[in-house]
Amino acid sequence: MHEISVLVKAVELAEQTAEDNGIEEISYITLEVGELSGYLPVFFEKYFPIVVEHHPRLQKAELRMITPRGEGLCLNCSAIYNVMECQGVCPKCGSRSKKILGGQQFLLKEIGYEETPSA
Ligand SMILES: [Zn+2]
């Protein structure tokens, strides 16, 4: 389950970014988990509360996720289709030759926090 290690890295990055910017409390982080990234969002949801235990700035943070679709361009007939839904096979011509157009990314997309009013 490599979800844990990438999640730890994302949380550490969020923590570091918060520290660098003087953010005391992160209210949410958004992860972009592509359909073809190989990571299962359900695991991130499961482990997030455990991982943030060691990160004071993230203890109240909510985990949000965006899951960009995994699109493939058929190299045989040029159809664009969803690789997950079609199990890697072009629905138009049945070819498996394709170029992946997106959905392979995993990244920390956004860190959300409340602006503390400056006194
Ligand atoms: Zn095709």
CA dist 85 to 21, 81, 90, Å? 41, 8, 10
Which CATH number applies to 1-68+103-119: 1.10.10.350, 3.30.2320.50, 3.40.47.10, 1.10.2020.10?
3.30.2320.50
What's the CA gap between 82 and 98, in Å, rounded?
11
What's the CA gap between 6 and 106, in Å, rounded?
9
**pLDDT tens-digit series, residues 6-25:** 999 999 999 999 999 999 99
Separation of CA 85 and ligand 1 centre (Å):
14
Place of tokens 């995993």: 106
Separation of CA 96 and ligand 1 centre (Å):
8
Count CB atoms within 10 A of the CB of residue 71: 18
Separation of CA 68 and ligand 1 centre (Å):
22
Confidence of residue 119 (pLDDT cuts 50, 70, 90): low
Structural tokens at position 14: 């969020």
Separation of CA 37 and ligand 1 centre (Å):
23
What's the CA gap between 85 and 64, in Å, rounded?
23
Separation of CA 99 and ligand 1 centre (Å):
11
Q: What is the DSSP annotation of 1-20? A: -THHHHHHHHHHHHHHHHHH
**pLDDT tens-digit series, residues 28-37:** 999 999 999 9
Separation of CA 84 and ligand 1 centre (Å):
15
